[in-house]
Structure 1
Amino acid sequence: MTDYKKDLGLKESTSIVISRIIGSGIFRTPAPIMALVGCTSLFGLVWVLGGIITVFGAVIYAELTAMIPRSGGPYVFLKEAYGPYIAFLRGWAMFFVSETASIVAVALVFTEYINAIFVIVTGDPFGLITTLTISLITIWTLTSINLFGVGLSGKFQVFSSIVKIAAVGAIIGITLTGFSTGNLGNFSDPLWPQDFGWSTILSIGAALRYSFFAFSGWEGATYMAEEIREPQKTLPLSLFLGIGGVMVLYLGANLGYLYQLDVESIKENKWVATAAVKVVLGASGGILISIAVAINAFGNI
């Protein structure tokens, strides 16, 4: 049986939770969410519901981790509940589908925001080959860091989480204090959907997919339970601290987006963070925040 080094404490495990969540979602998903719901009340509801349901998931994982403090996350839980066959299928599904697709998606968003800087400076977007090349180099670079061991990886996650909190905090501060460009009328135009029927309910359900993507990754700390000191106490606390902090940051960022951009502008801007800060600070602000968002995505791969 493998003996794992207990190199990760509350600070590192909470940093892993925060770093795994804050990446590309809060900067890429507001546009499709707003396109689906079309009004500010449902836009806010989708983000609040996404956070609440994520907390419910964390409660379940916290209880399971306290009962089974072993590395592997859902693989270990499924093995205990249903046996090795189901756990094996889940493990390979994560390896080939869910985790792989998530890594690729975040790498592409990282490249999108690098592209946003390039467009602001030169006016020309990246081609397909350039986009794919940058994304692949990004994935390989982060893989190399993880190969040097959990200690170095943990320190990188602490640094990454600090940068991410600072970046999202900067977006909140800049957008919510841009009084000369902000418009409180954006919060109520439109406030409610034109009608509320099954189509609206289905739109909320579809929009929740993007909210869940933005909140995804919190379970990452459970993959290394045996490398965390006192995992029965440390992991549940790190999950609650990490998810709770991210919820506050996400709600603040979305308030900032709405203060600077109307509903139609949010729908049309896939680089919503860049667009919102650019309204306040101009092109230079758009470049700086694009760099910050790219760093966020980089640390989430």
Structure 2
Amino acid sequence: MYLNRPRDGTGFMMKPSVAAPEHGSGVSELRRELGLLDSTMINVGTIIGSGIFIVPTTIAQYLNDSFSVIAIWIIGGIISMFGALSVAELGAAMPKAGGQYVYLGRAYGPVWGFLYGWTAFAVINTASIAAVAVAFATYLGFFIPLGAVAIKVIAIVSIILLTAINCLGVKLGAWTQNGFTFLKMAALAAIILFSFALSGGDVANFSPVLPRQSLSSMLG
């Protein structure tokens, strides 16, 4: 069992030596086409999702003070770290292609891995991709006048285009991912810099830092 593998001094499970499959052994392995930069950009793009441009406005609409907005992001980051460290532990214990499919299949049986795989394909990833595509088309409407139908068409076309790029090859998909991730980081850096340089803000905007309300009212 993978979960019974000995651990090193840090408490993490020791990674086994993985030999390349012999020719004709019947073992199917993914080709390693991605380099360090590509893998880093994929992780950065996943961690800093496109929701960073959408969600803050929604959070600010429901919360009345800067302290609550910042606290929500910090709490969300801590919760995310629990999941990230758990997946890192599982990935070190089971260095196989498949992600959560492999982990669920190993822990609960192949049926649950199968169900997760199809749920991710038909619901989880599909819904998130559609939401990001619609958000992209909606924000594009701030620069180009677009109607409701045009927004939907652009969202659909963007999904088809990016799907085609990934189907043409891993390298092409990685280059596209790298480009969009660099643009995302540049946009976030510009927002941060311009907010300090052009906002003409005042520390009085943070007063009172914590309004006189109970924790339950802050959480809704």
| Fold equivalence (TM over 0.5) | yes
Q: TM-score, normalised by structure 1?
A: 0.60
Pair 1:83 & 2:109 matched: yes
What is the identity percentage for the equivalent residue pairs of Structure 1 and Structure 2?
Answer: 38
Amino acid at match of 2:200: G
Question: For residues 204 and 76 of structure 2, what CA distance do their matches in structure 1 show?
Answer: 22
Question: In the alignment, is the contact (CA less than 8 A) between 1:41 and 1:192 conserved in 2?
Answer: yes
Pair 1:51 & 2:81 matched: no
Question: For residues 213 and 147 of structure 2, what CA distance do their matches in structure 1 show?
Answer: 41
Residue of structure 1 in register with 2:176 after alignment: 156
Q: TM-score, normalised by structure 2?
A: 0.81
The root-mean-square deviation of aligned C-alpha atoms, in Å, is: 1.7
Residue of structure 2 in register with 1:142 after alignment: 162
TM-superposed CA distance for 1:197, in Å, is 4.1
SS of alignment partner, residue 30 of structure 2:
coil
Which of 207, 210, 213 aligns to 1:195? It is: 213
Amino acid at match of 1:62: A
Question: In the alignment, is the contact (CA less than 8 A) between 1:107 and 1:139 conserved in 2?
Answer: yes
Change (3 A) 1:87 1:177: same
Gaps of 5+ in 2: 1-26
Alignment of 1:84-103 (within 5 A): 84-103=110-129
Residue of structure 1 in register with 2:16 after alignment: none
TM-superposed CA distance for 1:200, in Å, is 2.3
Gaps of 5+ in 1: 119-124, 204-301
Question: For residues 26 and 98 of structure 1, what CA distance do their matches in structure 2 show?
Answer: 19
TM-superposed CA distance for 1:186, in Å, is 6.0
Amino acid at match of 2:172: L
Change (3 A) 1:140 1:189: farther
Question: For residues 204 and 127 of structure 2, what CA distance do their matches in structure 1 show?
Answer: 35
Question: For residues 61 and 197 of structure 1, what CA distance do their matches in structure 2 show?
Answer: 31
Which of 47, 51, 57 aligns to 1:21? It is: 47
Question: In the alignment, is the contact (CA less than 8 A) between 2:30 and 2:97 conserved in 1?
Answer: no
The structure with more radius of gyration: 2
SS of alignment partner, residue 2 of structure 1:
coil
Question: In the alignment, is the contact (CA less than 8 A) between 1:76 and 1:87 conserved in 2?
Answer: yes
Question: In the alignment, is the contact (CA less than 8 A) between 2:134 and 2:155 conserved in 1?
Answer: yes
Question: In the alignment, is the contact (CA less than 8 A) between 1:40 and 1:190 conserved in 2?
Answer: no
Question: For residues 94 and 172 of structure 1, what CA distance do their matches in structure 2 show?
Answer: 34
